[in-house]
Amino acid sequence: MITQRPKGTQDWYGADMHRRTVIEAKARAICKAYNIKEIITPAFEHTVLFQRGVGETTDVVQKEMYTFTDKGDRSVTLKPEGTAGAIRAYLENNMYAESQPTKLFYFTQAFRYEKPQSGRLRQHHQFGVEFVGSKSPLAEVELITLLTGFIRDLGLTDAKLHINSIGCKNCRKTYNEALLAYLKKHEDCLCETCRERMQKNPLRVIDCKVPECKAIVKDAPRTIEYLDDECREHFEELQRLLTALNIPYEIDTGIVRGLDYYTKTVFEFVNSEGFTLCGGGRYDGLVHEIDEKQDIPSVGFGIGIERILYFLDKEGVKLPEEEPVELYVGILGAEAKTEAYRLVTKLRAAGIITETDYMDRSVKAQMKYANKIGAKNTVILGADELAKNAAFIKNMETGEQTEVELDKIADFFTK
């Protein structure tokens, strides 16, 4: 049907649209406090950016991307996540030549062809932050601290920090050998995808959601057992900093994240049922994957707007309601239309949320409509009000009426 939206998408309007704007406003406010600047990148990128950056062995690249050939015979992809595009923009625009670090945040649409579920749609919306240029664990701590404050500002209480370290490419080699040796013992019981993954990128098997594979990897070697000195010290310092800042955390060796660009620290905020609110981590190799001439450490996170709304509903958290209409200006008679709308325009220019009649309703119907939209006050303008240059403002809650000169109505609401 032409009037039916595609599966896995959502129309934003009404209460959900308002809640989304509240969430985004809270995110912008906390990013401002952290001196993080906004960036907007294209909705689609060259496909190779995600193949090299996200990783060809990931589910995202293998199964979930919306990829097509454009009229110039170029392969382009609707972005499945925000990090790769932000780092591409960082490199293309020579942001590395400026004083470092570079801290960027964004709200972006993301597209993944997967089975729609609660808090995750095929077209979803993501709030993300990228912290580029620092190898210090303080970079991770900054983003974790930001997320902790953001989650608290939203009113959520059931989201605990889980952390892990998946090491760097040096210690990953030793780990992959140990993991592969373990997986080969159980190869016949792995799903077809994991049998392929174990040859190309064994770490991806840890992230498999198939129950039989999850049961096998439960006893598999863990990355944390194979960290080299640098990665181990990095992870230990991260823990010391979190403890010093009174940020509770749990070491979760099952976290590897679903994208290949992660190194060292990975983290998630998870509720008591094991449902993930958001995730992120360090990706020191991503810049080099995109531009081999550059080697710049980075860390970031992404949190879905739909996922936030799911958590809010699950915990029964109410966000601030939309500001009500302050004044409804009713119109009695055709001769009052011009002056009524002139008053409406003046009130709106003063920042007062104002509504009026566009449907040629009767006065009774207008008052019924004003009540339906929750207008706090009403005023009726007709020939008598214009003649005496004054009208009665009625408080819809108390019924109290106050006579005010027409040219002083704006002052009545701003005093």
For 28, the enclosing helix (H) or strand (E) is: helix 14-33
pLDDT at 117 over 80: no
Peptide bond into 101 cis (omega under 30): yes
Mean pLDDT of 96-120: 89
Of 158, 146, 165, nearest in space to 251 by CA: 165
Task: Please report the pLDDT score of residue 1 as a whole number.
Answer: 60
pLDDT higher at 234 or 204: 234
- Render pLDDT for 123-134 as a digit per residue (tens, 0 to 9): 999 999 999 999
Task: Please report the pLDDT score of residue 59 as a whole number.
Answer: 67
Position 313 confidence tier, pLDDT thresholds 50, 70, 90: very high
CATH superfamily of 14-168+228-315: Bira Bifunctional Protein; Domain 2 (3.30.930.10)
Task: Please report the pLDDT score of residue 259 as a whole number.
Answer: 63
Antiparallel, parallel or unpaired: β 75-78 and 102-111: unpaired
Task: Please report the pLDDT score of residue 236 as a whole number.
Answer: 97
Mean pLDDT of 325-347: 95
Q: Angle at CA 373, nearest 5°, toward 369 and 374?
A: 115
The CATH class of the 327-414 domain is alpha beta
Task: Please report the pLDDT score of residue 258 as a whole number.
Answer: 60
Task: Please report the pLDDT score of residue 119 as a whole number.
Answer: 64
Mean pLDDT of 39-60: 84
- Per cent of the chain over pLDDT 70 is 97
Position 45 confidence tier, pLDDT thresholds 50, 70, 90: very high
Of 136, 83, 88, nearest in space to 302 by CA: 83
CA distance 345 to 316: 38
pLDDT at 56 over 70: no
CA distance 106 to 87: 12
Domains of the chain by residue range:
14-168+228-315, 327-414
Residue with tokens 């992120």: 280
pLDDT at 311 over 90: yes
State the chain's mean pLDDT as an integer.
Answer: 92
Question: Could you give the residue ranges of the DSSP H alpha helices within 72-191?
Answer: 83-92, 137-154, 169-185
Position 20 confidence tier, pLDDT thresholds 50, 70, 90: very high
How much is the pTM? 0.90
